[in-house]
A and B are shown apart, each in its own frame.
Chain A
Amino acid sequence: MSLSNGVSLSITTTILHSTSSTFLPKKSPKTSLKEVSMTLSYLSSFVSLFLTRKWCGSVGILVKGMYELWGEGTCYEELRDSIESFPDSRKLPFLASDSTFRISVETFGKALTFDEQRERINSLTYIPFEGKVNLKNADHNFFIMEMDESEENNGLQPILQRRIFFGREVGFADRKLLPTFQLKSRTYLGPTAMDAEMAFLMANQAKAASGKLVYDPFVGTGSILVSAARFGAMTMGADIDIRVVRDGRGPDCNVWSNFKQYGLPTPVALLRMDNNLPPWRSGLNELFDAIVCDPPYGVRAGGRKSGGRKILRGTVDPYTVPEDKRTDHIPSTGAYSLVECVHDLLHLAARMLVMKGRLVFFFPVLRDENGSEVKFPEHPCFKLVAVSEQILSSRYSRVLLTMVKVEPYSEEVEEAARLMHVEFRENHLKWLEKGNIHSSVFKPSDPSQVHTDSKSFKDPKPKYRGKYV
């Protein structure tokens, strides 16, 4: 089931606040609980559409459950009035004597003891439950949801208001999914492996499902494909780094083992190739149902393409590797800017996606204090259908872009795309030094700091000590 994008988006920015990065500061979710309560009331208004359907595990992963709202209020008296005014015709069928039920209490912003929970459940005596209680596998599950102002919010304004809801569960998500797939217990990880929850979100945005073929041109350790495979899709991946895609860290610690760990079918194919010079045979097109990836932004990991730094710059002519050294030769690769990388990705997607196929990828953006509108890369074959921002630091965020292919690929289209790419590169990346986001992220915030006395003088450009993978 897919929620309207508006609802998914509001939850996305709130819950996803942590990354695996070690030197980006962790930000606590500022508006998380407020947005959840707004979302709940939004949901309650269209839950009535789904009354007759039982949704299991297809609710997506951000939504814990869907509930038919029977009543709400700021205190239990109000709740009672609200429930009593809810029509009997909607309540009685689920209170029948030949059914079983269970009532649970969920709280936000506080914790309740077992006795406190029982007290609340017992307060519902005005609801004529005729059936028997079954705590393990009831026919009907009811929930009291209580939200309260957080006692400690570090002296700031409370973010939740006291509100109590009572509802009947009509759909629920697979709550075992995230704990099972979390990266903590993943066999083979890399520095930019995608967080499990995020990978599932991406797979959802791409509509990964049984019978579909999902491709990741920057597969790395396969973290995104694992989630697509869990949703039933066939997967395929490519990477320019042969050590990651072929060797891993050993025979039991590689991309294949990541899939075997969860009993998932391994990718249909993995290959080492350069997205800038893809080896696809001509005439091959419209093959993939979705392309889902996390291209290298050039901040913690830079992209690479064939050619070698000196060759690409023209410092050195292309050389031939002597015959005897050729088998183990690892061809040099040169810097591959984000802009060029994304252009190649769009080109690949335009050609290789089926019509209505989806392209889902992350794109980094500098957080502008002026709040001026950010422009994203475009392509004439694609329609942008979703933009979800994940704040990474005070300096920059990444946005998850979801695009749908609406025009078939052709040579005319390719020419129009090339012009769009040139326009984007010229006009929308002025704030990036040579299309390099890394320097913008790491530059000092105040240039005047450079002129303090020599004792406290700091190197104006903090050196990036990590590795460019």
Chain B
Amino acid sequence: MRLIMHNMLTCNIKGVINKSPLRIEAEKVIKKEVDFNPDFLRHMLAKIEWKALVDGARSMGYTELPVHAPGIESDEPFLRKFHHALLELNLEEGSLVCQESGRKFPVNKGVPNMLLHEKEV
């Protein structure tokens, strides 16, 4: 699971109201190369929740991201770091933890399981 996916997710269990992103508990992280596409990255930059990305990258062992996203002009070195964090870090095994309820969503073979149990619906 890449950080681009992590950035889109939340815990939707009945009763949980939070807005905070899921915390990553990483057990196995793999780096996979992905083609660099600046247009795609710029489009994504507008949609990403920056703090969640920075925290997520940190839990996967990458600390190069700036604390705040740059303004309108994003230069290439920044985009390269963004690209690496967003698309090249892969969580193969681990879990995503809801900060409010403590519920863990497992990630196996790179696929997060966001399906709710019967009582959580």
- Whether B114 lies near A279 (C-beta < 8 A) is yes
Q: Does A158 contact B (CB under 8 A)?
A: no
Query: Beyond A318-B121, A332-B118, is A279–B113 a contact (Cβ under 8 Å)?
Result: no
- Interface members, chain A 234-284 (any B CB < 8 Å): 234, 236, 240, 242, 245-247, 265, 268-274, 277-284
With the chains together, A338 CA to B119 CA distance in Å? Answer: 25
Q: Which of B2, B19, B106, B121 contacts A269, CB < 8 Å?
A: B2
Chain B interface size band reads: 35 or more
Question: Do A331 and B40 have beta carbons less than 8 Å apart?
Answer: no
Task: Tell me which of A72-80, A169-177, A321-329, A445-453 binds B.
Answer: A321-329
Chain B interface, DSSP helix/strand/loop, else mixed: loop
**A211 adjacent to B39 (CB under 8 Å):** yes
Any chain A CB within 8 A of the CB of B63? no
Given the complex of chains A and B, what is the CA–CA distance between A331 and B8 in angstroms? Answer: 22
Residue of chain B at shortest CB distance from A284: B8
- Indicate whether B4 reaches chain A with its CB closer than 8 angstroms: yes
**Min C-beta distance of A176 to chain B, whole Å:** 22
Question: Residue B49 at the A interface, CB < 8 A?
Answer: yes
Interface residue A287 (Cβ < 8 Å from any Cβ of B): yes
Bound-complex Cα distance A234 to B44 (A): 12
Residue of B nearest to A286 (CB): B47
Indicate which residue in A211, A271, A307 contacts B114 across the interface (CB closer than 8 Å): A271
Contacting residues of chain B (88-121) with chain A, CB-CB under 8 angstroms: 106, 108-119, 121
A271-B12 CB under 8 A given contacts A286-B47, A321-B117: no
Q: How far is the CA of A270 from the CA of B11 in the complex (A)?
A: 17
Chain B residues positioned under 8 Å from A240 (CB to CB): 115
The DSSP consensus for interface residues of chain A is: loop
Q: Is A319 part of the contact surface with B, judged by Cβ < 8 Å? A: yes
- Tell me the smallest distance from the CB of A302 to a CB of chain B, in Å: 17
- Chain B residues whose C-beta falls within 8 Å of the C-beta of A319 in the assembled complex: 118-119
Contact between chains at B115 and A280 (CB < 8 Å): no
Asked if B109 and A272 make an inter-chain contact with CB atoms under 8 angstroms apart, the answer reads: no
Report yes or no: B8 in contact with A277, Cβ–Cβ below 8 A: no
Additional A-B contacts beyond A277-B116, A280-B10, A331-B115 (4; CB < 8 A): A213-B43, A240-B115, A282-B19, A287-B47
Q: Can you list 17 residue pairs at the A/B interface with Cβ under 8 Å?
A: A242-B111, A246-B110, A247-B109, A271-B1, A274-B114, A278-B12, A279-B114, A281-B49, A282-B10, A284-B8, A284-B47, A306-B121, A307-B118, A311-B118, A318-B119, A326-B117, A329-B117
Q: Which residue numbers of A lie inside 8 Å of B, CB to CB? A: 210-213, 234, 236, 240, 242, 245-247, 265, 268-274, 277-284, 286-287, 306-308, 311, 318-321, 326-327, 329, 331-332
